[in-house]
Amino acid sequence: MTELMFKGKEFVWNHHLAVPARPLVPHPEKGIGEARLDGNLIVQGDNLHALKALLPMYAGKVDCVFIDPPYNTGEEGWSYNDNVNGPMIREWLDANPVGIDDGLRHDKWCAMMWPRVRLLYELMADDGSIWITLDDNEVHRARLILDEIFGEDCAIGQIVWQKRTSRENRAVLSPSFDHVLVYSKALRDTWKLRRNRLLPTDGGYANPDDDPRGPWASIPFSAQGYREKQVYVITTPTGVQHRPPKGRCWGATEPEFDRLRELDLVYWPKGGNGKPRIKQFPDEAKGLVPMTLWPAAEVGSTEESKKQLLSIFKEYEAQDLQIHAPKPVDLVRRVIEIATRRDSIVMDSFAGTGTTAHAVVEANKFDGGDRRFILVEMEDYADRLTAERVRRVIKGYDFTGTQKTELLRERLNWRALEKADALVHEVQGIENLHGHEFDRIKKEVKDGELVVTGEKAVAERAEGAGGEFTYCTLGEPVELDAILTGEELPAFDALAGILFHMATSQPVPPGETDAERFHVGEVNGTRVWLIYRPDLEWLKSSEAALSLSFARRIAEAHPNERHLVFAPARYVSQRLLDAEGLAVEFVPLPFALYRVERE
């Protein structure tokens, strides 16, 4: 494997391990609903520190990561400010912000991304996937970073997204697309089997023949290649004879086709003269394999996303919102369709304008799902823009005008005209499926394309999609070495989560932590305890030590399990614990900066 080398790599290789743990501090007044850390989250703070803060609860649980990091065009003015110890890094900081004339800007970008991707990898589920949007400036370096961290065999693909449809005459070549890199923790073939689902089939369903089984769509009755038993003559109800298309065969043998005809599953287009197609009902649809070309007509463009954002923030101009090129909601919706289940966790650690949360809320509204989002944004607009957009999407917002939703866009070439009846059938299906959602379904031919749009008049207020979230900031770093000096005494839950993750590499199981019993949680036969209270005098007392009676009590209550007990001191030796057959191990505070290996 080709290794990516960049200046500073030796300093950031394991920098994610040295990042101090910081607790999440909820701000109930800025969220919606009950403040809770196991629901939707918006975190304001440096994303490297925020990702480390999320590890104790979310390690191995995130199903989908969608990030839109700095493209490093030389015009963003972003700063590399990770606190990495090293004279070279300190020199770099003096050259911030990173600009077009900075000869080390690509090295700095790699140094910024490396520890963040390492933490995102730890947060991802075993079959989770990461989707990263970039342009030509850094996409090739990003692939090498991902190859090293995830492995080349975990590269799912590289998607081309048409980000703009207008021409940029000032450029050498007018940029029309961005890249979307897709990697998974699982190997490529494993992820293919475990991914959520294929994309919905094109077009809607209709019932032009009043089939008692309900609306249906038709699919071609042909297959690639040559199979002798699937090459035969089919006669239509009007007497026209058809053979399979050149280079193809029919989709089944003749006896199977006769069976499908008896079951009224064959549709004859062109008034009965056309080649047979097969009726497919919604619950039978297998879906479509995602392509690597995503046109703006399907997933939106940056121009459209700006207009949508400004419709939500009607009181602002674009320059007031400090937006450049927000990602379209439909782009992230497409990712969610492919990469999530209805109860998945979706994370965006470069949250920007909050598109990812908007897409998750809309996806839940569409299919009744219970997906959760976790957003991280370090800029000062995290509250007034990122979170405020989510508040308005959830609650509704002032809006007067017509909301338009594009339902179909089809280029009208000769091939489309030859299949005009199928296209009309498709439009009728859309009208039947979505007509009740809009005031009208508008059909127009524009610039050589058939565009079908759902329109809904809004008099005063756009309807909210519902939901809730908790807004958090980052607390002061938890320095374990400072606990017994009294310099820092974190809350029990904050310290317990950090130590549990250190000891087991897993997040704390929800609902198991009990400060009164000093119980933290259990995973894979290992139970973790923390004898601790945020009280310096108590920590110096004999009550804060592991005793033989405490060891006997927990071993008796939870037999056949291994017990790790974090405490400032102990009054019983490991030899005595072993002699009594107690599977109890003492881990001293504040020296718990290492990971306890499982036996």
Q: Which residue has the tokens 């749009």?
A: 453
Q: Is 493 in the same domain as 513? A: yes
Cα separation, 129 vs 63, in Å, equals 6
Cα separation, 342 vs 178, in Å, equals 28
Q: Is 32 in the same domain as 128? A: yes
Closest by CA to 360, choosing from 397, 395, 329, is 329
Listed residues 413, 434, 460: the one ending a domain: 460
Using an 8 Å Cβ cutoff, are 400 and 415 in contact?
A: no
* 508: containing domain: 478-588
The verdict on residue 471 lying in a domain is no
Cα separation, 127 vs 408, in Å, equals 32
Q: Is 126 in the same domain as 224? A: no
Residue ranges, the chain, pLDDT below 50? 591-599
Q: Mind listing the pLDDT tens digit for each residue in 251-305?
A: 889 999 999 999 999 999 888 898 999 888 776 666 678 889 999 888 989 888 8
pLDDT at 197: 60
Cα separation, 160 vs 157, in Å, equals 10
pLDDT at 360: 96
Residue 141 sits in a domain whose CATH number is 3.40.50.150
Helices (H), 228-345: 254-262, 296-299, 302-312, 318-321, 329-339
Cα separation, 372 vs 256, in Å, equals 45
Return the structure tokens found at 38.
């196991």
Q: Is 394 in the same domain as 411? A: no
Contacts (Cβ under 8 Å, ≥6 apart) of 312: 389, 392, 393, 397, 399, 462
Q: Is 253 exposed, middle or buried (0-12, 13-18, 19+ CB in 10 A)?
A: middle
Q: Is 163 in the same domain as 296? A: yes
Q: Is 394 in the same domain as 407? A: no
Listed residues 364, 379, 398: the one ending a domain: 398
Cα separation, 132 vs 139, in Å, equals 9
**Is the pTM of the predicted complex or chain greater than 0.75?**
no
Q: Which residue has the tokens 């908007």?
A: 358
Number of domains in the chain: 4
The verdict on residue 209 lying in a domain is no
Q: In degrees, to the nearest 5, what angle opens at C-alpha 362 toward C-alphas 176 and 126?
A: 80
Using an 8 Å Cβ cutoff, are 94 and 540 in contact?
A: no
The verdict on residue 331 lying in a domain is yes
Contacts (Cβ under 8 Å, ≥6 apart) of 55: 21, 119, 122, 123, 501, 507
Q: Which residue has the tokens 């039978």?
A: 284
Q: Is 270 in the same domain as 311? A: no
Closest by CA to 63, choosing from 154, 132, 128, is 128
Q: What is the DSSP letter of 480?
A: G
Cα separation, 162 vs 504, in Å, equals 43
Strands 293-294 and 155-162: parallel
Contacts (Cβ under 8 Å, ≥6 apart) of 81: 93, 96
The verdict on residue 205 lying in a domain is no
Contacts (Cβ under 8 Å, ≥6 apart) of 397: 312, 461, 462, 464
The verdict on residue 211 lying in a domain is no
Listed residues 430, 460, 490: the one ending a domain: 460
Contacts (Cβ under 8 Å, ≥6 apart) of 454: 404, 405, 406, 407, 434, 437, 438, 440, 441, 442
Q: Is 313 in the same domain as 355? A: yes
Number of helices followed by number of strands (H, E) in the chain: 21, 28
Cα separation, 530 vs 568, in Å, equals 9
CA atoms within a 13 Å half-sphere pointing along the CA-CB vector of 24 = 29
3-state secondary structure of 73: coil
The verdict on residue 483 lying in a domain is yes
The verdict on residue 531 lying in a domain is yes
Q: Is 453 in the same domain as 545? A: no
Q: Mind listing the pLDDT tens digit for each residue in 152-208?
A: 999 999 999 999 888 888 888 888 899 999 999 988 888 887 665 666 655 557 788
- Could you tell me the end-to-end alpha-carbon distance of the chain, in angstroms, rounded to an integer? 33
Q: Is 343 in the same domain as 432? A: no
Counting every residue written for the chain, the total comes to 599
Using an 8 Å Cβ cutoff, are 67 and 124 in contact?
A: no
The verdict on residue 3 lying in a domain is no
Q: Is 409 in the same domain as 391? A: no
3-state secondary structure of 44: strand
Q: Is 378 in the same domain as 497? A: no
